[in-house]
Amino acid sequence: MARAFDAVLVIAFGGPQGRDDVRPFLANVLRGRRVAPERVEEVAHHYELFGGISPITELTSRQSVLLSEALRDRGQELPVFVGMRNWHPFLEDTLATMARHGVRRAVGFIAAAHRSYSSCTQYRENVDAARATLRTAGLDDVEIVYVGDWHVHPGFIEANADHVRDALARLPEDVRDRARLIFTAHSIPVSMAEKFPYERQLKETAQAVADGVGARDWVLVYQSRSGRPEDPWLGPDVCDYLRQESAGGLEAAVVCPIGFICDHIEVLYDLDTEAAGVCRDLGLPMTRAAAVNDHPRFAAAMADAVLQTIERYGGGLPLKIVSRPRETV
């Protein structure tokens, strides 16, 4: 019997790989949105502080290699491809390569643990558009079947907990026991949050990681807000929170970017540059936990999610979904 899947497709945000890439990359990120030119230049500067190179491409590649190795160790010899939404390797190019290599059905792994329109549904729409481009070009279609939720998978939780423990150990010993664990995630509009399980899933992940390190004093805040100032977004903002709580007696902080799976520019700038600068000005000891990155337990979690999808469909074809409520996407 033919196996149900020919490959795995890891779908991620993408990032520039040099200064010349930054503005074309941002044009892709912002396509269809009206953003003031001064805001675009501000964000471009964030990337230029790091040479115009986002670590997301390298880290996603490493995650994919580890995923391939974990699948092979469990008897699944499946090629793992990477397709990016906003920069090379673009989804359209990756899917075309997959089609030319004879891939007809792949397990899709979106590189975001918590579901919202911008972190999940939009990527599915991008995949659908790329598949339509394949058909227009006369290439065979590549069907994508997505993994289920994995935001509380033990491997994902344990990888984050490991990095939180490392960050705690870097705090001065005299304040370590009084540090607050501050989880961060990308803010989204409140109107979007009302339609998706994003906030609930973030809190479930944060609670599990806090339990894993024995932390009772923890909070979930947000970062990287964009959009019109008059539109309500999830908060509080991490920098506003640090200022407020420092004034109220907070003695130390460990910041954990629970909403991200790579240390990319939004982590490096918003936390390591901006939030860390706030803490220096306040005299507040702060360390930042790494995202899961290439932690082996996260690779195991990715492999489990893929294998569960393969097992769910066995040797048969998944039923095609005609329509689905937006809040369950």
Is residue 30 in some structural domain? no
Asked if residue 11 and residue 139 are part of one domain, the reply reads yes
Is residue 37 in some structural domain? no
Asked if residue 186 and residue 209 are part of one domain, the reply reads yes
pLDDT at 320: 53
Is residue 227 in some structural domain? yes
Nearest Cα neighbor of 7 from 72, 103, 120 is 103
pLDDT in tens, 121-139: 999 999 999 999 999 999 9
How far does CA 287 lie from the centroid of its chain? 21
Interacting residues of 289 by C-beta distance below 8 A, sequence separation 6+: 160, 163, 164, 166, 167, 254, 255, 256, 257
Asked if residue 191 and residue 169 are part of one domain, the reply reads yes
pLDDT in tens, 232-264: 999 999 999 999 999 999 999 999 999 999 999
Tokens (6 digits) for 105: 């059905």
Sign for the CA dihedral angle at 73, 78, 84, 87 comes to positive
Nearest Cα neighbor of 181 from 221, 217, 222, 235 is 217
Between residues 35 and 101, which one has the greater pLDDT? 101
- Average the pLDDT over 198-205 and give the result: 98
pLDDT at 325: 41
Asked if residue 65 and residue 166 are part of one domain, the reply reads no
Tokens (6 digits) for 226: 């964009």
Alpha-carbon span 42 to 242, nearest angstrom = 22
Residue 194 CB: number of other CB atoms within 10 A?
10
Tokens (6 digits) for 246: 């420092």
Is residue 265 in some structural domain? yes
How far does CA 329 lie from the centroid of its chain? 16
Domains identified in the chain, total number: 2
Is residue 174 in some structural domain? yes
pLDDT at 37: 85
Helix axis angle, 56-73 to 296-313, nearest 10° = 60
Alpha-carbon span 252 to 287, nearest angstrom = 9
2 falls in which pLDDT band (50, 70, 90)? low
Determine the Cα angle at 320 with ends 315 and 322, to 5°.
165
Residue 156 predicted with pLDDT over 90: yes
Residue 232 lies in domain = 154-288
Asked if residue 272 and residue 161 are part of one domain, the reply reads yes
Alpha-carbon span 15 to 84, nearest angstrom = 8
Asked if residue 139 and residue 11 are part of one domain, the reply reads yes
Nearest Cα neighbor of 210 from 244, 245, 166, 161 is 161
CATH number at residue 215: 3.40.50.1400
pLDDT in tens, 5-23: 999 999 999 999 999 999 9
pLDDT at 38: 85
Is residue 161 in some structural domain? yes
Asked if residue 183 and residue 128 are part of one domain, the reply reads no
Asked if residue 169 and residue 69 are part of one domain, the reply reads no
Helix (H, G, I), strand (E, B) or coil at 134: helix
Is residue 40 in some structural domain? no
Asked if residue 67 and residue 161 are part of one domain, the reply reads no
Asked if residue 182 and residue 118 are part of one domain, the reply reads no
Nearest Cα neighbor of 298 from 111, 47, 37 is 111
Asked if residue 244 and residue 128 are part of one domain, the reply reads no
Asked if residue 158 and residue 122 are part of one domain, the reply reads no
